[in-house]
Amino acid sequence: DTAVSQTPKYLVTQMGNDKSIKCEQNLGHDTMYWYKQDSKKFLKIMFSYNNKELIINETVPNRFSPKSPDKAHLNLHINSLELGDSAVYFCASSHRGGGSLYYGYTFGSGTRLTVV
Partner 1 sequence: GQNIDQPTEMTATEGAIVQINCTYQTSGFNGLFWYQQHAGEAPTFLSYNVLDGLEEKGRFSSFLSRSKGYSYLLLKELQMKDSASYLCAVDNYGQNFVFGPGTRLSVLP
Choices 22-30, 63-71, 72-80, 101-109; region in contact with partner 1 by CB under 8 A = 101-109
Please say whether the beta carbons of 72 and 26 come within 8 A. Answer: yes
Helices (H), the chain: none
User: Which range in 22-30, 61-69, 77-85, 99-107 contacts partner 1 by CB under 8 A?
Assistant: 99-107
- In the complex with partner 1, the residue whose CB is nearer, 22 or 105, is 105
CA pair distance 63, 15, nearest whole angstrom: 13
Of the ranges 11-19, 65-73, 79-87, 98-106, which one interacts with partner 1 (CB under 8 A)? Answer: 98-106
Please, which residue, 106 or 114, has the CB nearer to partner 1? 106
Which of 43, 53, 61, 65 lies at the binding interface for partner 1 (CB under 8 A)? 43
Binding footprint of partner 1, residue count (CB under 8 A): 22
Query: For residue 67, what is the enclosing H or E element?
Result: strand 64-70
Between the alpha carbon of residue 4 and those of residues 28, 41, 57, the distances in Å are: 10, 20, 21
Out of 25, 33, 76, 93, point to the residue binding partner 1 (CB under 8 A). 33
Alpha carbon separation from 25 to 17, 31, 32, 70 (Å, rounded) = 27, 10, 9, 11
| CA separation for the pair 6, 90 (Å, rounded) | 8
Q: Which residues bind to partner 1, rule: CB under 8 A?
A: 33, 35, 40-45, 48, 55-56, 90, 96, 102-110
